[in-house]
């Protein structure tokens, strides 16, 4: 038995990106010698992987809080470009230009976000003769601008979303246009991306608030607050085409389906789309390629479409950069997009043809964020105290953090991108479930529970997903995984097993004078999960002919009211155990549980992605629990509590104001997202405990009501 619980050093093995094979990296007679990666986090690491593979030296830039970050340790050289706020570091063009000069980098890969679509940066680079790995400033300017790109697309014969082609400003103008197009409409920043600076509006009221907030976000995130407005197509699918163009040849890749979004930010993506047929695929691809040719595009890019239920599609925008979700395209086409980008930027011509871009199997990406799915996906910050990544064939992880990393309010809360790939969609979903079950994250809240829940959603499994999937399937927000009675039994077994192990360990103490040196051979425990209780009788089974101690157990669920009648019986086998995981074979099927917390009476387990406390008591303890006082809970209904850590941006009320349910009280900015906090009921403001600019922590009381 002891052998089974002993643990050797648990150093996570690096996995993931290495699974992409070497493509035409055999022949670099001439190539860049040093590339500066003007980004952080997973995408910086991703780009450096390819640089390493191609024998190119890498330079990382970082803010002062990032000096121990993963991308810094991966690079050959690292230069600090400023303090934590992105506007002073990762967006600090002057400092980055300085870094390029200092290190002698010949090219810059911008990743996504930050300066990836900033034409001023591209111009600055051109001035000093450094190559920007991306499209030229003309294509970037023309396509990166949502208004301009719509115009160009229309001219190139691409079908576009109905709307107003042009910038809107002034509330009257905005309202007029919105009413002309007809609700619902989408207001979005012309320079936007990543779900920032855009909002869906369903009436005039929404437009008034949404327009103001989006504009502010656009200003702080992109430094460009021009806005546009267009028809919001509901129940559509978000499908996009990866393109690759060397200025002459423009190739299109099989599509990516990114319909699962929340707050207009993608959460789960897959390639190909379960909705597409070959005909539409070719038609979309050709239009995307045509758009590239129209602007003489020279790099990798993505053309986004909204696809209606009748497979008619509308051009949304073109992203002139590497996308977050590019790995799924790489996995089904066996191409390294970063390598292609670098080669095109160096001036090479594409060596692949359209016919090389066949679909091999299926791939899916889940974005693992530090956020609280139970609290409307609000960002979570903190120190990642334990971090164990899944691994295995068909699993790729593009991540930018390691254990001990700090997730701060300054940057995107993306922990990693978990990609699984295989022969078909079913197989890929199964792998994704397993990978999520093996993903152990402690210290910050994360959305694994939510992702895992989606993997079991019927519509998702059937491939019936549209962009309103999350609001439709989770109208009240994510409430946590609903454990079936069978799963509750499995949780009970696991917790009882853990209790048994603990007991066993304690009995090995040297002062054990008891005449029996080990645990009594069988035990009865009461396991409680939520409101379900089970009486679990547990005893080890003899192992035949083996010298090692037994790892086989018999578990019986018994009915205490009926003279201990055995209701169910399982043979349980311990497969594997570490301090974080336990894998039990229950009645022939293996289940993996994560162990997250332990109190005097309960274990908090993570099962099917969701954490749940399981109380294990002896029958005596269980009997006496009825006398224990009920814990008092603090009444929080009479105050406004900060749902996340962040900064108070503005206060919309004063002390003594009478407010009505849903009225805006204040705005908290966290991770560049502005969150409006509203009155939970009709009431009067008694006191305001914060002022604009103040940094607040989660659960801090901001406003008291009378």
Partner 1 sequence: MLGRRLLNKNTIQLLNKNSNGVLSQGIKSFSTAKTAPPAKEPFKAVKYESTIDRVMGRIQEETERAQLGGGLKRIDVQHGKGKLLARERLDLLLDDGSFREYDMLVTHRCTDFNVEKTPGDGVVTGHGTINGKLVFVFSQDSTVNGGSLSEAHAEKICKIMDKAMLVGAPVIGLNDSGGARIQEGIASLAGYAEVFQRNVMASGVIPQISVIMGPCAGGAVYSPAITDYVFMVKDTSYLFVTGPEVVKSVTNQEISQEGLGGAKIHTTKSGVAHLAFDNDIEALKKVREFVTLLPSNPNQPAIREPFDSPSREDVVLDQIIPDDPNKPYDMKEVIERIVDEGEFFEIQPDFAKNIIVGYARMEGRTVGFVANQPKELAGCLDIDASVKAARFVRFCDCFNIPIVTLIDVPGFLPGTNQEHNGIIRHGAKLLYAYAEATVPKISIITRKAYGGAYDVMSSKHLRGDTNYSWPTGQIAVMGSKGAVEIIFRGKGDIKEQEQIYNDKFANPLPAARRGFIDDIIPPRMSRQYICEDLEILKNKKLSNPTKKHGNIVL
So which residues are the catalytic ones? Answer: 317
Among the residue ranges 195-203, 413-421, 503-511, 637-645, the one whose residues contact partner 1 (CB under 8 A): 503-511
| Cβ neighbours for 155, distance < 8 A, ≥ 6 positions apart | 294
Site string for partner 1, 624-663 (x = CB under 8 A): xx-xxx-x--------------------------------
Which of 205, 310, 563, 635 is close enough to bind partner 1 by CB under 8 A? 563
Question: What is the C-alpha separation between 364 and 99, in angstroms, rounded?
Answer: 36
For residue 555, with 0-12 CB atoms within 10 Å meaning exposed, 13-18 middle and 19 or more buried, which class applies?
A: buried
For partner 1, the closer of residues 67 and 658 by Cβ is 67
| Selected range binding partner 1 among 52-60, 82-90, 367-375, 516-524, rule: CB under 8 A | 516-524
Whole-angstrom distance, CA of residue 620 vs CA of residue 600: 15
Where would I find the H helices in 136-238? 137-144, 146-155, 171-181, 204-222
Please choose, out of 2-10, 141-149, 388-396, 645-653, the segment that lies near partner 1 by the rule CB under 8 A.
2-10
The residue from 517, 531, 637, 654 that contacts partner 1 (CB under 8 A) is: 517
Q: How many angstroms separate the CA atoms of 147 and 509, rounded? A: 73
Query: By the 8 A CB rule, do 463 and 584 touch?
Result: no
Identify which range of 114-122, 371-379, 484-492, 502-510 contacts partner 1 by CB under 8 A.
Answer: 502-510
What is the phi/psi pair of residue 217, to 5°? -60, -40
For partner 1, give the closer residue by CB, 3 or 21.
3
Residue 283 CB burial class (10 angstroms; 0-12, 13-18, ≥19): middle
Sign for the pseudo-dihedral over CA of 413, 415, 417, 418: negative
Question: Pick from 212, 537, 583, 596: which binds partner 1 (CB under 8 A)?
Answer: 537
Least distance CB 488 / partner 1 (angstroms): 21
First vs last C-alpha separation in the chain:
60
120 vs 385, beta carbon nearer partner 1: 385
Tell me if 506 contacts partner 1 by CB under 8 A. yes
- Work out which of 599, 633, 637, 654 binds partner 1, going by CB under 8 A: 599
Q: Could you tell me if residue 377 is left (phi over 0), alpha (psi between -120 and 50 degrees) or otherwise beta?
A: left
558 binds partner 1, rule: CB under 8 A:
yes
Q: Which two tokens stand for residue 605?
A: 């387990």
Asked whether position 10 contacts partner 1 by CB under 8 A, the answer is: yes
Sign of CA dihedral 155, 244, 412, 109: negative
Within 8 A by CB and 6+ apart from 73, the residues are none
The yes or no reply on residue 619 touching partner 1 (CB under 8 A) is: yes
Which range of residues in 9-17, 306-314, 457-465, 488-496 is near partner 1 by CB under 8 A? 9-17
Binding of partner 1 at residue 21 (CB under 8 A)?
no
Shortest spacing between CB 630 and partner 1, in angstroms = 8
Does 426 bind partner 1 (CB under 8 A)? Our answer is no
Interaction mask 357-396, partner 1, x per CB under 8 A: --------------------------x-x-----------
CB 534 within 8 A of CB 614: no
Question: Is residue 333 a contact point for partner 1 (CB under 8 A)?
Answer: no
Q: Report the residue from 190, 535, 594, 610 that binds partner 1 according to the rule CB under 8 A.
A: 535
DSSP letter at 38?
Answer: -
* 521 forms part of the interface with partner 1 (CB under 8 A): yes
The 567-596 site mask, x for binding partner 1 (CB under 8 A), equals: ------------x-----------------
User: Among residue numbers 66 through 85, which ones bind partner 1 (CB under 8 A)?
Assistant: 67-68
CA distance 210 to 200: 8
For the CB of residue 451, give the shortest distance to partner 1 in the complex, in Å: 25
**Interface residue with partner 1, options 175, 507, 652, 701 (CB under 8 A):** 507
Q: How far is the CB of 634 from partner 1 (least distance, A)?
A: 15
Binding-residue total with partner 1 (CB under 8 A) = 58
DSSP assignment of 640-671: EE-SSSEEEEEE---TT-EE-TT-EEEEEEET
Q: How far is the CB of 537 from partner 1 (least distance, A)?
A: 7
Q: If you write DSSP's letter for every residue of 344-373 in order, what string do you get?
A: HHHTPPP---GGG----SEEEEEEEESEEG
Q: How far is CA 494 from CA 49, 426, 566, 603, in A?
A: 40, 28, 19, 9
Binding site for partner 1 (CB under 8 A): 2, 5-11, 67-68, 383, 385, 403-404, 503, 505-517, 520-524, 535, 537, 539, 558, 560-564, 579, 599-601, 617-621, 623-625, 627-629, 631
């Amino acid at each position: 038995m002891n052998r089974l619980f002993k643990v050797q050093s648990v150093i996570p093995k690096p996995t993931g990106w290495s699974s992409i094979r070497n493509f035409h990296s055999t022949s670099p007679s001439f190539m860049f010698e040093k590339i500066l990666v003007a980004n952080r986090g997973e995408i910086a690491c991703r780009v450096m992987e390819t640089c390493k593979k191609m024998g190119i030296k890498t330079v990382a830039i970082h803010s002062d809080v990032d000096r121990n970050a993963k991308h810094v340790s991966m690079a050959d050289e690292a230069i600090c470009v400023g303090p934590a706020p992105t506007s002073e570091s990762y967006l600090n063009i002057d400092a980055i230009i300085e870094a390029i000069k200092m290190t002698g980098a010949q090219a810059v890969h911008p990743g996504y976000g930050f300066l990836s679509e900033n034409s001023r940066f591209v111009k600055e680079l051109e001035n000093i003769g450094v190559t920007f790995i991306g499209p030229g400033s003309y294509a970037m300017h023309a396509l990166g601008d949502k208004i301009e790109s719509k115009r160009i697309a229309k001219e190139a014969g691409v079908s576009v979303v109905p709307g107003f082609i042009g910038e809107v400003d002034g509330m009257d103008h905005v309202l007029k246009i919105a009413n002309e197009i007809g609700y619902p409409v989408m207001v979005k920043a012309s320079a936007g991306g990543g779900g920032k600076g855009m909002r869906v509006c369903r009436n005039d009221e929404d437009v008034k608030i949404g327009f103001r907030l989006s504009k502010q976000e656009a200003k702080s995130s992109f430094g460009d607050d021009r806005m546009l407005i267009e028809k919001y197509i509901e129940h559509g699918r978000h499908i996009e085409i990866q393109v690759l163009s060397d200025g002459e040849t423009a190739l299109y890749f099989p599509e990516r389906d990114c319909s699962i979004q929340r707050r207009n930010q993608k959460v789960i993506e897959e390639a190909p789309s379960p909705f597409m047929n070959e005909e539409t695929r070719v038609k979309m691809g050709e239009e995307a390629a045509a758009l590239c040719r129209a602007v003489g595009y020279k790099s990798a890019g993505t053309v986004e479409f909204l696809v209606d239920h009748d497979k008619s599609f509308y051009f949304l925008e073109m992203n002139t950069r590497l996308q977050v979700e590019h790995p799924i395209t790489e996995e089904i086409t066996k191409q390294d997009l970063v390598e292609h980008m670098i080669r095109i930027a160096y001036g090479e011509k594409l060596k692949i043809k359209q016919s090389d871009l066949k679909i091999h199997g299926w791939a899916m990406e889940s974005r693992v964020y530090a956020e609280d799915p139970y609290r409307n996906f609000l960002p979570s910050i903190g120190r990642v105290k334990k971090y164990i990544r899944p691994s295995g064939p068909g699993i790729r992880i593009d991540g930018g953090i390691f254990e001990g990393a700090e997730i701060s309010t300054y940057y995107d809360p993306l922990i990693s991108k978990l990609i699984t790939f295989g022969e078909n969609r079913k197989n890929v979903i199964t792998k994704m479930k397993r990978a999520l079950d093996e993903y152990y994250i402690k210290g910050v809240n994360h959305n694994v529970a939510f992702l895992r829940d989606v993997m079991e959603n019927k519509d998702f499994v059937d491939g019936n997903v549209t962009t309103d999937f999350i609001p439709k399937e989770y109208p009240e927000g994510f409430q946590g995984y609903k454990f079936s009675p069978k799963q509750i039994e499995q949780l009970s077994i696991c917790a009882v097993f853990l209790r048994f192990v603990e007991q066993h360990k304690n009995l090995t103490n040297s002062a054990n004078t008891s005449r029996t040196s080990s645990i009594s051979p069988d035990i009865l425990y009461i396991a409680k999960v939520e409101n379900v209780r089970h009486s679990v009788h547990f005893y080890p089974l003899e192992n035949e002919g083996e010298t090692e101690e037994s790892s086989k157990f018999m578990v019986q669920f018994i009915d205490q009211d009926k003279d201990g009648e055995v209701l169910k019986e399982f043979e349980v086998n311990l497969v594997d155990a570490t301090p974080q995981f336990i894998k039990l074979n229950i009645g022939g099927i293996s289940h993996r549980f994560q162990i997250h917390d332990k109190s005097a009476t309960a274990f908090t387990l993570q099962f099917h992605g969701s954490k749940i406390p399981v109380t294990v008591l002896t029958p005596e303890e269980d009997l006496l629990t009825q006398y224990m006082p009920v814990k008092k809970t603090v009444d929080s209904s009479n105050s406004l509590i900060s749902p996340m850590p962040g900064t108070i941006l503005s206060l919309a009320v004063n002390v003594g104001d009478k407010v009505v349910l849903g009225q805006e009280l204040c705005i908290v900015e966290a991770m560049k997202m502005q969150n409006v906090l509203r009155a939970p009921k009709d009431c009067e403001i008694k006191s305001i405990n914060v002022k604009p600019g103040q940094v607040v922590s989660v659960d801090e009381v901001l406003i008291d009501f009378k």
